[in-house]
Amino acid sequence: MSDRDAHKKQAALAAVAMVEDGMVVGLGTGSTAAFAIDGLIARVRDGLKIVGIPTSERSAKQAADGGIILTDFAHHTRVDLTIDGADEIAEGTLDLIKGLGGALLREKIVASASTRLVIIADAPKLVPGLGGTVPVPVEVVSFGWQTTAERLAALGARPAMRQAGDAPFRTDGGNLILDCHFGPIADPAALEARLSATVGVVETGLFIGMATTALVAMPDGVRRLDRKG
């Protein structure tokens, strides 16, 4: 295991320790979230009783294969605690960029239904402000995506179609992702509102005011940040 993976696992296990018997737990997607699912599997095998709502098909498979009972919003409309990763975490606000793993729509649905959203990451993901290191993933419908890309460009983006080999990447919902490079974002909330109002956009990777806690693995241990208010 690389040092970076070891740090991701350290943050993941700190979040797993927050899970209690009887909880409905949101299961995130991505390399860091996968460590959390593994940690939950170990606790379930030791007797922890939870049900999980996964944010992607791959997280669902990992959890089910490990013995976590899965549920859905038809049976539980609220999630007690969701553990997920992020591509950038703004240190002052805990606003996020998510979606480089391709599951941003389901991740945002689960996050929106969660009493607590705990974000786990290693140190490079913690940044002074959003947009400086990664693009903003924007999920769009296939029909007319070229015109959607033009509208996003008019908002200041450099949209690039995400690829999976020789074909465009498809989300679990069958949509496309345009990775939109804005550079440093002065007002993430305003940008999120403009992107969400753009015809053809399904969802954006800007998660504004949603994270309650971030657990960030630093060289000297896991640092906990809680959103004010």
* Positions marked catalytic: 107
Residue 98 · residue 177 · CB < 8 Å: no
Q: How far is the C-alpha of 17 from the C-alpha of 39, rounded, in Å? A: 9
Q: How far is the C-alpha of 53 from the C-alpha of 50, rounded, in Å? A: 10
Residues in the chain: 229
**Count of CB atoms situated within 10 Å of the CB of 222:** 16
- Tell me phi and psi for residue 24, to 5 degrees: -95, 120
Residue 18 · residue 81 · CB < 8 Å: yes
